[in-house]
Amino acid sequence: MNLAWRDIRHKLGRFVLTCLGLSLLMAVVITMAAMNRGQIEDATALVRSIGADLWVVESGTHGPFSESSRIPGDTREMIMRMESVEQAGAITLQTVQAAHAGRKLRLQVVGFEPGRLGEPVKLIAGRPITRSHFELIADKQTRLQLGETVRLGRDDFTVVGVTSGIVTLSGDSIVFMSLKDAQDLQFQQAPPSARRDAARGQQRSPVDLVNAVVARASPWVSTDEVAETIRRWKHLSVLTDEEQNQLLTRTVIERARKQLGTYMAILTVVSAVIIALIIYTMTMEKIREIAMLKLIGAPDRTIVGLILQQALLMGALSFGAGTALVYTLAQGLFVRRLVVLPTDIAMLFGVVVLVCLVASLLGVRAALRVDPARALTG
Amino acid sequence: MDISPATRPLVEIKGICKHFGEGPTRVDALRDVTMTLWSGEVVGLLGPSGSGKTTLLNAIGAIIEPNGGWMKLDGEVVYDNRWLRSDLRRLRLEKIGFIFQTHNLLPFLNATDNVAVVLQLAGRPREECIRRSVELLEYLEVGHRKDSMPSQLSGGEAQRVAIARALANRPRIILADEPTAALDSVRAEIVMDLLRKLAVEQQATIIAVTHDDKIFGRFDRIFKLRDGRLEDDGKAAEPDVVSP
């Protein structure tokens, strides 16, 4: 017979309630981990969506995700002329804020050349941009519907396609439009300002600027080799896909990740203390029964097993319930993406098991020190 | 009721001492206690509160360590100014059964499992544990409550389940601390009859601490303790020694 299970069954209601309480705490820890993973997913969503091997950016910069980067629009042709490059496309990135249907839309606009590298790889509804002007692909987070028109800058754009999960590292939705429209939106002056500059005799600044050129290397050439060739040109910088991902996850969102990590660590310590107190209390409540078991001859391993099994079962059930809570309820509660990966869950479960084992030490110590004669006292 | 003749000494203690505390707070609970108890005997341990009865019972039960003396249980010297065995729990499990004033049943096990747990600790197969537990409960006339939890048992039923647990591993020595204190006089008689029956059938020694004068007549011998010293052991006749 399993003494741990019998004891739990005897006070099942209280055990279940304790597990439920702990599961809420664990759900918070898992949510933190999921937020951390979601932050990485958000930060790299655009890079993954475009699927480029190389990001060619302004010389001496780390590209448009971390700082200002402007290069001439014809850089694309120059890159494309390289034998080792299979595809290339120019892109622009800018943040706009627009009012639509009584709500504020905060968007990052990606301009790309339709039919070339830079457009989103996967749409969940609608079609790619086929006209050179005034069509828009929006992320479903914007709640813009297919066929809906939204005003950005001085033009109206019609939503023709919908993507899913493509947001910026700060959680803003990303929309895609033609490069020309995006350049106009970014560089074209408002009419009063343009008239004023013309009256002052100033020439209009050139608008054929892009923020980056994305390229895909030919299958038979290594990406690093192509990157090395481009770096020799001095007037351009280049980041491989891996470098871009590292830059985004280890530099751009590093502080936010560290903060979440610290919060998670604190929560884990709090959980450990709470689990230790619960197990200690559970042990002390049955200290007389433990003394009795010792008195009738139960070895220490039976006593330790009783406590550890209860602690591990409590940890496992609470973790299971916490995970289920995150999967079913938490996903809709947070505005930012939560990503729960099986590897993260496995790792966190390992931590919970470890925490339960360590937290049991207080209870085990108390149980091993109890005098069997205690069973004889009234 | 027949009294079985004693055949050999099961408990022999010589010069057992036990004190608690040191200096001005020192209390001598046992002073040079010497006694020999025989198989099949039911022995009473009497004395006022604080006389050392429970301490003596705990020392014989290897629950507390004396400060000096010599002790032989079931033919094995277990204490000679120090414990000679490191596995005292094993000693308790195999040779000693405990019955307490309150039943002290494990509240999370039913009656059968409360008995079976000691058999399981001794390494018996599960089926055998259950079979023997049910047999014991039926023998003690509580078989009909074998699935009941301790909280569902009356005082008498719980005490009989506790006795069944004490007997499960066929111990040679049964230590009973106020076994009838929680029972009415009728049930107290039943329990004492039962203990005597067990002593005869299993050739065990039963040592009972009691204040219950109604059951004094049920003991073969009575030892009186006062201030940690044994006053006398002479209520009954000397047992018939066959092989000391």
Best residue of A14, A15, A376, A377 to probe chain B, by most B CBs closer than 10 Å: A376
Instruction: Kindly give the confidence (pLDDT) of every residue in chain A, 378 residues in length, as a single tens digit, with 9 standing for 90 and above.
Output: 889 999 999 989 999 999 999 999 999 989 988 888 888 888 888 888 888 999 999 988 888 888 888 898 889 999 999 989 999 999 999 989 888 888 888 999 999 999 899 988 889 999 999 988 899 999 998 999 999 999 988 889 999 999 998 888 778 899 999 999 998 887 766 667 767 777 777 766 656 889 999 999 999 999 999 999 988 887 889 999 989 888 888 777 888 888 888 988 898 888 888 888 898 898 888 888 899 898 888 899 999 999 999 999 999 999 999 999 998 877 778 878 888 889 989 998 998 899 888 888 888 998 999 888 887 765
Q: What ipTM was predicted for this assembly?
A: 0.81
A contacts of B170 (beta carbons < 8 Å) = none
Identify the domain boundary among A236, A253, A270.
A253
Q: Which residue has the tokens 């702990």?
A: A22
Tell me, yes or no, if B90 comes closer than 8 A to chain A by beta carbon.
Answer: yes
* Residues A63 and A11 placed together within one structural domain of the fold: no
Dihedrals phi, psi of B132, to nearest 5 degrees = -70, -35
Contact B107 A6 (CB under 8 A): no
Contact A297 B54 (CB under 8 A): no
Within 10 angstroms of residue B178's Cβ, the number of other Cβ atoms is 19
Q: May I ask the CATH architecture of the domain B9-108+158-232?
A: 3-Layer(aba) Sandwich (3.40)
Rounded Cα distance between B33 and B191, Å, is 28
* Residues A108 and A214 placed together within one structural domain of the fold: yes
Angle in degrees, CA B14, B20, B22, rounded to 5: 115
Which residue ranges make up each domain of chain B?
9-108+158-232
A contacts of B176 (beta carbons < 8 Å) = none
Tell me, yes or no, if B121 comes closer than 8 A to chain A by beta carbon.
Answer: yes
Rounded Cα distance between A71 and A93, Å, is 12
Complete DSSP assignment for B172-189: SEEEEESTTTTS-HHHHH
Rounded Cα distance between B161 and B143, Å, is 9
Tell me the residue range of the domain where A91 lies: 46-253
Q: In sequence order, which residues have a C-beta less than 8 Å from that of residue A55 and are 6 or more positions away?
A: A63, A212, A213, A214, A238, A239, A240, A241, A244
Contact A11 B108 (CB under 8 A): yes
Contact A299 B126 (CB under 8 A): no
A contacts of B177 (beta carbons < 8 Å) = 376
* Residues A221 and A348 placed together within one structural domain of the fold: no
What residue spans of A12-162 are helical by DSSP H? 12-50, 75-80
Closest CA to A373 of B154, B18, B48: B18
Q: What is the DSSP letter of A125?
A: E
* Residues A159 and A194 placed together within one structural domain of the fold: yes
Tell me, yes or no, if B214 comes closer than 8 A to chain A by beta carbon.
Answer: no
Beta-bridge partners for A210: A71
Domain count, chain A: 2
* Residues A61 and A179 placed together within one structural domain of the fold: yes
> Distance from first CA to last CA of chain A, Å, rounded?
28
* Residues A159 and A267 placed together within one structural domain of the fold: no
Closest CA to B6 of B239, B244, B243: B239
* Residues A174 and A52 placed together within one structural domain of the fold: yes
* Residues A300 and A206 placed together within one structural domain of the fold: no
* Residues A248 and A259 placed together within one structural domain of the fold: no
B contacts of A6 (beta carbons < 8 Å) = 108-109, 113
Closest CA to A161 of A133, A131, A132, A123: A123
